[in-house]
Structure 1
Amino acid sequence: MTAPQSPKPSESSAPQPLDTSVTNTDNPKQLLGVYIKGMAMGAADIVPGVSGGTIALIAGIYERLINALGSIGPKLWQTFRKEGGIKGLLAVWRQVDATFLLFLLLGIATSFATLAGMIKYLLDNQPLLIWSFFFGLVVATIFILLTEIKRWNIGRIVLFGIGLVSAVVISSLPLLTTTPSLPYLFFAGAIAICAMILPGISGSFILLLLGAYDTVLEAVHTLNFTVIFTLMAGMLTGLLLFTHALKWLLARYYQATLALLTGFIAGSLMKIWPWKVDILNTLDNEAINNVMPWHYPTGPHWLSTLGLMLLGAVLVSLLSWWGKRNNHH
């Protein structure tokens, strides 16, 4: 079941639920594919400005992910009681598509464990190169998703514009620098996980905006479980509430929702524009202001930047092709 696929359930007044009969009998090759896509999602989520949800959408697993997460709720207890014992647990496992979620989470965790240090090094020491790669990746994603939106109308154009403007506004907000309390971290976790699921808005960037990013990184580094568990509780709460709403929208207004999500992704380009300088128009401090390539202090570096943009675009195109190919088998 692939997210960028049309047509979808009718967007008339008669609601039709998403097909929740997802396959729970993935073969080892399919599960390996889910694991690799999870790694790609994790790598994207590490970068403040790129959303793992974008990768899930282009890889053709977004709708399945939302279905799986959206099935988590009080009704699982009824499913368990109906069968009872081991059979009840297996029924719950199948209902939440837990094998799929497990391999996806393992892939995400693998990226965080193996790639976080390298990506952080590149962000600190070669920001122009890594932002160029992700910029090309996101531009290609936008073009691919725009072709998946059928029957453009005024409403969908407006929704695309709303998504674009919202992402630009969020990316332009000033960063908070206050020391977060535990209730604040709970709130930050709930908002950030929604952003991680929503294509185009980075959960890492939301934590950065809310002034919680450094606290969370420090907590992970020092194994401060009070902070970690508070954040995780907020994330779980936000995840359960948000995915139910998103599942409902995808079921009834798939094309309109896709237009909105594509707008979010387009708006995120402002955040990941490669050529940035600091407030003194130099590279000595944190670079936050976008400039034209020819105004970059060390020059535009056309060969390396455009080459990496092309690489990002090619990789996301291959990921999209792979996602569609897998879902047609």
Structure 2
Amino acid sequence: MTSLGIYLRGVLMGAADIVPGVSGGTMAFITGIYDRLLGSIRSVDIAFVRKVLALDIRGAWEHVNGGFLLALLLGIATSIVTLSRVISWVLEHHPVPLWAFFFGLILASSLVLVRHVPAWNVARLVCLFTGIAVAATIALAPMINLDIGLPGVFFAGFLAICAMILPGISGSFILVLLGMYGPTLLAVKEFDVSYLLVLIAGAVCGLLVFSRLLHWLLQRFHDGTMALLTGFLFGSLLVVWPWKRVLLWVDSSSGSLKPAQQAPVLPDAFLVHTGTEPQVGLCIAMMVVGFTLVWFVERRWGQEAGASP
């Protein structure tokens, strides 16, 4: 696999991670680099630290497969820096068609993950429906307000990165539930160094801890874990359903009101409750575009992704 190919996969992962409900881990999985990614993350261990302390930089670089991680991180950073402004603007001015696009992405991603559970049985179906139930409960619950300064930013980074490496759960989805999605997009847009450094510190800690747990689960309970993650992805469709009714408003740190709890409704009810045109035709078209994009990625790299992580 060339460095350009890894970079482009990073671009896909970064683009997915900006979207509330779409997982960069899903993109890593369906493009065939998931196992390699987990292996590189787990290589940041005691042996790596010893090499760094001994100033064996070349050995440390090779130990963690540094060339792979560098190309991937550059691709992820490219997407985050270039797309965060665009998505922030569209979320503000055209939220309904954008959520419809997200819905198509997630629906297609969940169907991709279903194919990677080789044989369904009662236990795996229980895992699937447990994932759906947990995600749906979280999606319909009131938003948690973590706007408590830098400790909240650290905790948000810790949880979000855990979700980002899972095929089936989105880090941005977690940020939405924690009430930190908007502040994080704003921090990226305005390059708030202190905010971003604390967020990255939390993410690094979460990454080192959770990658080992995830590897253990996939090694011992692969099919059940994948079924559970697929359920999470199906359940998260409630989060990105384009037509929602706000049940609870709260004051934001800027003094304006922001939704703290929402429930999905049909387009007609959306028009009644919000007075906003549901744009059904455009939304369906955007769903198809999102679905087709994931289908194209899976068709292009799905054969490589057939190997289990």
Whether these two folds match at TM > 0.5 is yes
Counterpart in 1 of 2:142? 174
Counterpart in 1 of 2:231? 263
Unaligned runs of 5+ in 1: 1-25
Residues 179, 279 of structure 1: alpha-carbon distance in 2 compared, 3 angstrom cutoff: closer
TM-score (norm 2): 0.84
Counterpart in 1 of 2:196? 228
Counterpart in 2 of 1:147? 115
Residues 154, 178 of structure 1: alpha-carbon distance in 2 compared, 3 angstrom cutoff: closer
Q: Does 1:252 align with 2:224?
A: no
Q: Does 1:315 align with 2:293?
A: yes
What SS does structure 1 have at the residue aligned with 2:72? helix
TM-score (norm 1): 0.79
Give the superposition deviation at 1:237: 0.7
Give the superposition deviation at 1:60: 2.3
Counterpart in 2 of 1:292? 266
1:64-106 residue CA offsets vs partner (Å, 9 max, x unmatched): 211211221112245679xx76xx4333323322222111111
Residues 310, 218 of structure 1: alpha-carbon distance in 2 compared, 3 angstrom cutoff: closer
Alignment of 1:301-312 (within 5 A): 301-312=279-290
**Number of matched pairs:** 293
Larger displacement relative to structure 2 (181-190 or 312-321): 181-190
What SS does structure 2 have at the residue aligned with 1:148? coil
Alignment of 1:266-277 (within 5 A): 266-277=234-245
1:267-292 residue CA offsets vs partner (Å, 9 max, x unmatched): 11010111223349xxx975933111
1:143-191 residue CA offsets vs partner (Å, 9 max, x unmatched): 2221221121121111112221221122223223464133333222211
- The whole-number CA distance in structure 1 between the counterparts of 2:19 and 2:301 is 23
Give the superposition deviation at 1:304: 1.9
- The whole-number CA distance in structure 1 between the counterparts of 2:52 and 2:201 is 24
Residues 184, 96 of structure 1: alpha-carbon distance in 2 compared, 3 angstrom cutoff: same
- The whole-number CA distance in structure 2 between the counterparts of 1:214 and 1:304 is 25
What SS does structure 1 have at the residue aligned with 2:242? coil
- The whole-number CA distance in structure 2 between the counterparts of 1:204 and 1:217 is 10
Alignment of 1:94-109 (within 5 A): 94-109=62-77
Counterpart in 1 of 2:78? 110
Q: Does 1:43 align with 2:15?
A: yes
CA contact (8 A) 1:58 1:316 kept: no
Residues 224, 131 of structure 1: alpha-carbon distance in 2 compared, 3 angstrom cutoff: closer
Letter of the structure 2 residue corresponding to residue 301 of structure 1: Q
Give the superposition deviation at 1:221: 4.8
Give the superposition deviation at 1:300: 4.8
After superposition, the CA RMSD in angstroms is 2.7
Letter of the structure 2 residue corresponding to residue 104 of structure 1: L
Flag as ranges the 4+ runs of structure 1 deviating above 6 A: none
Give the superposition deviation at 1:222: 5.0
CA contact (8 A) 1:42 1:109 kept: yes
Residues 230, 68 of structure 1: alpha-carbon distance in 2 compared, 3 angstrom cutoff: same
- The whole-number CA distance in structure 1 between the counterparts of 2:265 and 2:158 is 33
Give the superposition deviation at 1:316: 0.7
Larger displacement relative to structure 2 (318-327 or 125-134): 318-327
Letter of the structure 2 residue corresponding to residue 308 of structure 1: M
Unaligned runs of 5+ in 2: 249-256
Give the superposition deviation at 1:246: 0.6
CA contact (8 A) 1:164 1:266 kept: yes
Counterpart in 2 of 1:63? 35
- The whole-number CA distance in structure 2 between the counterparts of 1:212 and 1:299 is 28
